[in-house]
Amino acid sequence: MPEPYEAIAAWRAAGETGDAAAAVAALSPGIELISPITDQFTFRGRDQVRELLEVALAEIDGIVYTDQIAEGRTVALFYEATVGGTRLHEAQRLRLGEDGLITEITLFIRPLPALTRLMNRLGPELARRNGKPGLARLIPLAGGILHAMAETGERRIMPKAAPQS
């Protein structure tokens, strides 16, 4: 039996060094990764998650884990990074199997412009890897509109709603 949270330590180290192969080694063969971008599908199995991690870790810069909270076989991790120059904060809920490997990952990203920028950077490459070049060209067009709206709201509209001192 592995040491408690050994897979979590390996996952964190892999994220901070951008090593997708090392991250996959911490995962159960039946891993499920729930996307922060869509409810339309889940990444299942090491091969699908590896492909996502290869693309994501190439786009997300400077991952630094800041917090870890654990209760039993559920662990919450928090990190800060950038994607395309936009500050990104991610929370990860990781569930461990009996063997100590990660069986489920649920991701949460903020602020909204970081999420939309990440979608625009990951989506086209994932579509290309899945043999959908037309979709790879469409994602930046549709996603660009969504990102422009999110960024405008973040920079110009929401500051006007800030609490007054």
**How confident is the model at residue 165, as a pLDDT?**
82
* Domain locations along the chain: 6-110
> Phi, psi at residue 5, to the nearest 5°?
70, 15
Per-residue burial over 13-34, b if 16 or more Cβ lie within 10 Å, else e, is ebbeebebeebbebbbeebbbe
DSSP annotation of 26: T
For the chain, what's the residue count? 165
120 has pLDDT over 70: yes
- At 59-111, the pLDDT tens digits run 999 999 999 999 999 999 999 999 999 999 999 999 999 999 999 999 999 99
150 has pLDDT over 60: yes
2 has pLDDT over 70: no
Could you say which architecture CATH assigns to the domain 6-110? Roll (3.10)
The answer to whether the beta carbons of residues 32 and 103 sit under 8 Å apart is yes
DSSP annotation of 155: I
